Amino acid sequence: MRIGIDAGGTLVKIAYILNDKLELLKLPSKELLQAVNWVKETLDTPEICVTGGKAEQLAKLLPFEMKRIVEFEATCKGVQYLMSHSKQEEGPFVLVNVGTGTSIHYVNGEEHVRIGGTGVGGGTMIGLSRLLTGIENYQEFILSEVGGQRDELDLKVKHIYEGSEPPIPGELTASNFGNLNSVPANVPISDYLSSVIGLVGETVATASVLAAAQRGISRIVYIGSSFSGNQSLKKVVAEYTVLREGQPIILDNGEYSGAIGALLSL
């Protein structure tokens, strides 16, 4: 049995082949022993390749020989695999991994280089959620955000140009959380969470489009655990990328790219 493991700061992602089918699994990194026990109990003398920030910590807990692969190399392998299976056309693109933070890379075939990144990402969503609403569980965050509106909290261009025609679309955000001075006391939790997603999504999309423009391309591939079940974040990132004249691709199962790439390297 071959298995690829991406031991990240928030999640441990696992990819393996069972009955000729790619199987994917994730567990919280803070419960690393749970991942260790799963490997021990599920797989008999496996071939393992590990990557990610907690790879060495994981390797010390597993009684198996294992291969290591640099995280971005594994991620690129996994992304190329997922893109080929989703019938995406070949060519250069900017790869944006929105995990706890956000890392931005340029990919063109076998060539890949890190362009930059931002500390704004999934960790920001959960951190601000905890500060503003007390919610720190990701699934609760997703469920509680449903139906949220941003007009009460975010300052939109239309608010500034009230009564006149703005020179740019009125729905654009002039300032995330910039309308707080006039916020009524009964703003629902869903609105706060929606505004948090807006801040993160617009920041990530803006940085990504600027990075793509530096390379003279428009195609941007988004992956990462922050998109898991988070339709609002997908919508914000996709729409804002298009608005900034980028071409967004949000890969299904993109959060498993590192684990898939580790598996493919065996």
The C-alpha atoms of residue 18 and residue 226 are separated, in whole angstroms, by 27
Place of tokens 């195609």: 219
* Residue range(s) of every CATH 3.30.420.40 domain in the chain: 2-86+256-264, 118-148+188-250
Q: What is the mean pLDDT of residues 70-79?
A: 94
- Asked whether the predicted pLDDT for residue 29 surpasses 90, the reply is no
Query: With contact defined as beta carbons under 8 Å apart, do 221 and 38 qualify?
Result: no
Q: Evaluate if residue 239 carries a pLDDT over 90.
A: yes
pLDDT for residue 89:
85
**Is residue 234 very low, low, confident or very high in pLDDT (cuts 50, 70, 90)?**
very high
Residues annotated as catalytic (active site), given as ranges: 71
Average pLDDT of span 23-28: 91
User: Is 55 within 8 Å of 4 (Cβ atoms)?
Assistant: no
Q: What is the mean pLDDT of the chain?
A: 92
pLDDT score at 265: 95
The DSSP 8-state label assigned to residue 209 in this structure reads: H
**Residue 93 host element (H or E):** strand 93-98
Phi, psi (rounded to 5 degrees) for 255: -65, -20
Pick the CATH number of 2-86+256-264 from 3.40.225.10, 3.30.420.40, 3.20.20.70, 3.30.9.10: 3.30.420.40
Phi, psi of 112, deg, nearest 5? -150, 140
> Per-residue pLDDT averaged across 228-243, rounded?
96
Secondary structure class of 115 (helix, strand, coil)? strand
Segment 75-100 shows an average pLDDT of: 93
Confidence band for 110, pLDDT divided at 50, 70 and 90: confident
pLDDT recorded at residue 73:
93
Residue 59: predicted pLDDT: 87
Nearest to 254 by CA among 217, 215, 220: 220
pLDDT digits (tens, 9 = 90+) for 163-214: 899 988 888 899 999 988 776 778 899 999 999 999 999 999 999 999 999 9
Q: Is the pLDDT of residue 80 over 90?
A: yes
Q: Domain 118-148+188-250 is classified in which CATH homologous superfamily?
A: ATPase, nucleotide binding domain (3.30.420.40)
- pLDDT of the residue at 32: 84
Task: With a cut of 80, say whether residue 44 has pLDDT above it.
Answer: no
pLDDT score of 150: 92
Please name the amino acid found at residue 237.
V
Give per-residue pLDDT as tens, 128-166: 999 999 999 999 999 999 999 998 899 999 889 988 999
C-alpha 126/C-alpha 105 separation (Å) is 24
Residue scoring higher pLDDT (26 or 169)? 26
**pLDDT for 45 beyond 80:** no
pTM listed for this prediction:
0.92
3-28: burial string, b at 16+ Cβ within 10 Å, e else: bbbbbbebbbbbbbeeeeeeeebbbe
